[in-house]
Structure 1
Amino acid sequence: MKYAYRLAVSTALFVAVSFPALAEGQLNIYNFGLYTPPDLIKKFEKTYDVKVSVTEYDSNETAMAKIEAGGHGFDIIVPSAYVVPIYIKKGLLMKSEPDQMSNFKNVKAEWVDVDWDKGRHYTAPWVWGTTGVMVNTKIYKGDLNTSSIIFDPPEELKGKINVIPSINEVINMAIGYVGGEPCTSDKKILKAARDKLMAAKPYWASIDYPSFEKFIKEDLQASIFWSGAAMRIRAENPGFAYGYPKQGYTLWQDNIAILADAKNVKNAKLFLNFVMAPENAALISNYTRYGNAIKGSEAFMDPELLKAPEMNIPAALKTSAHSLTTCPAYVQDIYTKIWTELTK
């Protein structure tokens, strides 16, 4: 989902398939950094004789501000599930009917009638992942599956912890830690979560999107983190491991959609259909190190990815997952106030 880390991954599979050129011209994609496989773009360009440009952003909030400002020139965006309803309500997405496209038959049943886009009239799946905790097991020998690593850290981690600047993911994890549910309106729970965040902050080194190198070189030893990003770091420093906090962690999906003011609509629709083909969904997963929602993609995916602990939630912890959803406006306002105080 997530932030543009500057560590190249060259594990994507390139399946060369010959198709007649059915289109021409341009396609402009706006996506999270290092989230668009170069081989996927080359394949699409060759297949359809379309020149593709990719512009990167670091967060959903940055992207939405850019789109709302207008004059951006983008055709496609990749929003996280929790902001899709906001995009739709503001009229920023085209009702492009991915559910009517030929490759929609490949979408796994559980990802078809999703809460954020019932029936998939606006979005197609991109990738899914989780947001849990990552820690260096060379120095931390305790339970991996607990958010106490972040909120009540042991001495060996104090001053070496990062927290990603993602409001809902961080506050939801804190709410779970104090016994509440995401998007709660219970003021006692919200105050307890706020107090826990403020008490933990002195033990953190940063609230940031840090480079991978800071973990690989062990300048940072723990973080609230995304599963695919954690997998990339583990590949470079096997001391790091990923945990699913029993108190609650996030299960999310990012989606691909056509912007309401897209200029290259035909090519954008071709691309949405293109990424729902199994071999192309596998290209995305192999590059990003996240799961996808496409049946048959496993045959084209890196076997190491399929069996990775960051891709396989322990059965006993599946009930601790919660979806990253859009909170009611009044609850989101409280989240924003908590976050503003935390990041002063």
Structure 2
Amino acid sequence: MKTRLVLTTAILAVTALPAFAEGVLNIYNFGLYTPPDLIEKFEKTYDVKVTLTEYDSNETAIAKIEAGGAGFDIVVPSASVVPIFIEKGLLMKSEPNQMENFKNVAPEWIDVYWDSGRHYTVPYAWGATGVMVNKDYYKGEINTLKLFFEPPEELNGKINVPPYMNDVIDMALFYVGSEPCTTDKVKLKEVRDLLVAAKPSWASIDYPSFEKFINEDLQGSIFWNGAAMRIRSENSGFTFAFPKEGYLKWQDNVGILADAKNVENAKLFLNFLMDPENAAMISNYTRYGNAILGSAPFVDPEMVTAPELQLPPENEAKSFLQVTCPPEAQELYSRIWTDVTK
């Protein structure tokens, strides 16, 4: 999931985005990431029945979509994989930059590397990937990736690593003193050996239900700051930290699939997401930032001071905006991940 930081002034004609539609819309999104009240509002506003299907990783989504026949209209890829979706011809060039509500997109989120000028996608949510640990259970230092790559005995069998190849390998590269997307085979072998040695100490490579943390079946995970805030609200022992070795910033985006059957409803949905009140609904549910001007008055005030959402300025040099790795690096990543997950 990841940050995800030429404005077009054209405004889509009112007739191109009708006030009411009918039919269906099929959304494919990360798990626990779609506000039910947002969907209910969209359905009532446009008389469109929404079906939501969830996935656990970008890799799962790409594989499912490439296989064909899934019938999805909307997908929510992370910034680092949007160029892959575009290159593979999986996204429609739907020109959200010409939609009525595009005027609400903050300027810094328009000319982005993964979709310059926003011809394919609109912003959904942005955040950071770090570590989350139950401080009531583990009393040691938590702002380090050592918890997962060289786990202490107390956390043996109690921690999770998400099934996100790039996230895990990028953070392992931080840990060994390198940087994401490297093709340095010496460093990548070090990462491979590190992860393979650490795996027996992990309880799972999964996107587990929040209840597994809340109920303390799991005591920690490489995790996302907004999701960590949601878990803390149910179990105050869980604390999120930005690892001293480095952390990832990201943005997730919403696009229309090239083979979408309900294109007009999908365009309505993209425009709907760029409304400030609707963007705030996403933030209030996911606990992540959004990229829509005017949404702040509708966002839960608790988010303004939440520790999980305060990116540490003293650690800014250790943050990395997750990008699309070149093919050579991606191939090396895939080989490592195969060894780790087999």
Same-fold call, TM cutoff 0.5: yes
Which one of 261, 272, 277 corresponds to residue 274 of structure 1? 272
Q: Which residue of 2 aligns with 1:9?
A: none
Which one of 92, 95, 104 corresponds to residue 94 of structure 1? 92
Partner SS for 1:73: coil
Which one of 302, 316, 319 corresponds to residue 318 of structure 1? 316
Partner SS for 2:233: helix
- 1:22 and 2:20 matched: yes
Which one of 123, 126, 133 corresponds to residue 125 of structure 1? 123
TM-score (norm 2): 0.91
Q: Counterparts of 2:341 and 2:308 in 1: how far apart (Å)?
A: 29
Q: Which residue of 2 aligns with 1:155?
A: 153
Amino acid at match of 1:294: I
CA contact (8 A) 1:21 1:49 kept: no
CA contact (8 A) 1:171 1:193 kept: yes
- 1:255 and 2:260 matched: no
Q: Counterparts of 1:320 and 1:235 in 2: how far apart (Å)?
A: 28
Offset, 1:21: 4.0
Further displaced range: 69-78 or 162-171 = 69-78
Offset, 1:199: 2.7
Q: Counterparts of 2:142 and 2:304 in 1: how far apart (Å)?
A: 21
Partner SS for 1:209: coil
Q: Which residue of 1 aligns with 2:289?
A: 291
CA contact (8 A) 1:176 1:182 kept: yes
CA contact (8 A) 1:25 1:50 kept: yes
Offset, 1:76: 1.1
Offset, 1:258: 0.8
Which one of 199, 202, 207 corresponds to residue 201 of structure 1? 199
Q: Counterparts of 2:150 and 2:93 in 1: how far apart (Å)?
A: 46
Amino acid at match of 1:310: E
Q: Which residue of 2 aligns with 1:14?
A: none
> Could you list the per-position Cα deviations for residues 3-45 of structure 1 after superposition, in whole angstroms to 9, with x for gaps in the alignment?
xxxxxxxxxxxxxxxxx94322222212122222121112112
* Cα distance, 1:121–1:233 mapped onto 2, change above 3 Å: same
Q: Counterparts of 1:132 and 1:218 in 2: how far apart (Å)?
A: 19
Amino acid at match of 1:318: E
CA contact (8 A) 2:58 2:164 kept: no
Offset, 1:158: 2.5
**1:120-199 correspondence to structure 2 within 5 Å:** 120-199=118-197
Unaligned runs of 5+ in 2: 3-17
> Could you list the per-position Cα deviations for residues 230-279 of structure 1 after superposition, in whole angstroms to 9, with x for gaps in the alignment?
11211111011001112111111110001111222222111111101110
Q: Which residue of 1 aligns with 2:244?
A: 246
Q: Counterparts of 2:52 and 2:337 in 1: how far apart (Å)?
A: 31
Q: Which residue of 2 aligns with 1:73?
A: 71
Q: Counterparts of 1:74 and 1:214 in 2: how far apart (Å)?
A: 29
CA contact (8 A) 2:57 2:163 kept: no
* Cα distance, 1:152–1:72 mapped onto 2, change above 3 Å: closer
Partner SS for 1:236: coil
TM-score (norm 1): 0.90
> Could you list the per-position Cα deviations for residues 312-339 of structure 1 after superposition, in whole angstroms to 9, with x for gaps in the alignment?
1111122221122221112111111111
Q: Counterparts of 1:142 and 1:269 in 2: how far apart (Å)?
A: 49
Between Structure 1 and Structure 2, how many residues are aligned?
Answer: 327
Percent identity among equivalent residues? 70
Further displaced range: 122-131 or 22-31 = 22-31
Q: Which residue of 2 aligns with 1:236?
A: 234
Offset, 1:182: 0.1
Q: Which residue of 2 aligns with 1:6?
A: none
Considering only aligned residues, what root-mean-square deviation do their CA atoms show, in Å? 1.7
